[in-house]
Amino acid sequence: MNTEPVISLIGVTKRIGRTNIIDDLTFDVPQGEIFGFLGPNGAGKTTTIRMIVGLMSITKGQILIKGKNIKTEFEQAIRHVGAIVESPEMYKYLSGYQNLVHYARMVPGVTKDRIDEVVSLVKLENRIHDKVKKYSLGMRQRLGVAQALLHRPSLLILDEPTNGLDPAGIRELRDYLRNLTRTEGITVVVSSHLLSEMELMCDRVAIIQRGKLVNVMPIQHFTQGDDQDQTYLIQAQPSEQALETIKNMDGVRRVNLVEDEKIEVTTDREQIPDILIGLMQNQVRIYGVQLVCQTLEDRFLEITEGGQIG
């Protein structure tokens, strides 16, 4: 497998007027990954995507796609990219098929067979010769995906693709993206302001807030925290004594009584056996120990220090 990142952003900054809407973004996405780009509305997701696909100029820094600079080697860089920026606006007075022919003509090597292939991929066979004017929102989204995949891109960029989709549609999209990364080794960058969607879809997530990168991490770390910082729920009696005991132990970051008999402890994973031994030695009866998975929501609020979402 190729270890060179499919896309890398290096110190990317966008200044409009006197403010940096995007400020010093740096991250890489390796091949085959579904990379989430998460942030509240107005965080700068769309702006970043516009810079990646060359719709907007980059004030400072650079963006490389398969090693090609989007600014200086636009044509070589962009041929690896398929994208939907915000909603996929098509020529409404043309049929879906004519729209695809239009985009196919712009990239060398897209055959008629390939057009038919993507049409069946997005299940638009029956309506592809209708005018786009008559399409539903869902059909337009699918036609958008079709135009993005037409030229077999290595990198697929979707800006808030779940907007306007129902839960079934979102699930379909998710399975579909998984499939693409597995069978074709495609890399996907997908933006969203909805955490729950990212959680199910992505391998790694970058959080962006007010144009700044807050964090990049695998989705598991995201939901569970890392090994040094995990939260457990211990059911024990008498709880007063348990609380006292735990408070006096090493390596405990936080402890509090959440409700009767339930104590929440945040500590290093390695500390848990010692805590339990300590409790037993103090005649505390333990009924249950449970790792608390934070929801993405909690985690997000923690990381962005309460920055509001969506």
Partner 1 sequence: MVNLVLNENMKIYRRLRTWILIGLMIAFVLFVNIMNWHFDGKSAQGKGWRTELQKEITQWNEVLKQPKLDKQTKKYYQQQIAINEYHLEQNIRSTEGTLWDGVNGSAGMMIVITIFTIIIVGDSVAGEFSSGTIKLLLIRPASRTKILVSKYISLLLFGILLLLTLFVVSVVINGILFGFGHMDLPLIKATAEGQVVESNMLLNLWKTYMLNSVSTVMYVSMAFMISSAFRSSAMAIGLSIVSLFAGNIVMQALQRFDWSKYLLFANTDLTQYLSGLPFQEGMTLSFSITVLIVYFTLFNLISWLIFTRRDVAS
Ligand X SMILES: Nc1ncnc2c1ncn2[C@@H]1O[C@H](COP(=O)(O)OP(=O)(O)O)[C@@H](O)[C@H]1O
Distance, in Å, from the CA atom of 202 to the CA atom of 248, rounded to the nearest integer, reads 40
Name the residue nearer to ligand X (CB basis): 6 or 21.
21
Q: How far is the CB of 157 from Mg ion (least distance, A)?
A: 12
Q: Which does 42 bind (CB under 5 to 8 A by kind): Mg ion, partner 1, ligand X, none?
A: ligand X
Name the residue nearer to ligand X (CB basis): 45 or 299.
45
- List the x/- string, 38-57, binding to partner 1 by CB under 8 A: ------------x--xxxxx
Task: For residue 130, give both structure tokens.
Answer: 């209708």
Distance, in Å, from the CA atom of 74 to the CA atom of 52, rounded to the nearest integer, reads 10
- List the x/- string, 119-158, binding to ligand X by CB under 6 A: ----------------------------------------
Q: What is the DSSP letter of 64?
A: E
Q: Which does 106 bind (CB under 5 to 8 A by kind): Mg ion, ligand X, partner 1, none?
A: partner 1
Q: Which does 169 bind (CB under 5 to 8 A by kind): ligand X, partner 1, Mg ion, none?
A: none
Q: Per DSSP, what are the bridge partners of residue 255? A: 265
Contact 218, 203 (CB under 8 A): yes
Task: For residue 225, give both structure tokens.
Answer: 């925290």
Distance, in Å, from the CA atom of 94 to the CA atom of 287, rounded to the nearest integer, reads 67
Contact 276, 235 (CB under 8 A): no
Q: How far is the CB of 221 from partner 1 (least distance, A)?
A: 32
Given the rule CB under 6 A, which of 36-44, 112-120, 144-152, 177-185 is the region that contacts ligand X?
36-44
Q: Of the candidates 8, 31, 46, 304, which one interacts with ligand X according to CB under 6 A?
A: 46
Residue with the shortest CB distance to Mg ion: 46
Q: Does 48 bind Mg ion (CB under 5 A)?
A: no
Q: Quote the crossing angle between the two packed helices 239-247 and 272-281, to the nearest 10°.
A: 130
Distance, in Å, from the CA atom of 214 to the CA atom of 306, rounded to the nearest integer, reads 13
Q: Of the candidates 5, 32, 36, 44, which one interacts with ligand X according to CB under 6 A?
A: 44
Strands (DSSP E) found in the chain: 7-16, 19-29, 34-38, 60-65, 68-69, 81-84, 155-159, 187-192, 204-209, 212-218, 230-237, 252-259, 262-267, 285-292
Q: Of the candidates 8, 31, 46, 48, which one interacts with Mg ion according to CB under 5 A?
A: 46
Q: Which does 103 bind (CB under 5 to 8 A by kind): Mg ion, ligand X, partner 1, none?
A: partner 1
Task: For residue 95, give both structure tokens.
Answer: 């049929």
Interface positions with partner 1 (CB under 8 A): 50, 53-57, 74-76, 78-79, 81, 83, 85-94, 98, 101-103, 105-108, 147
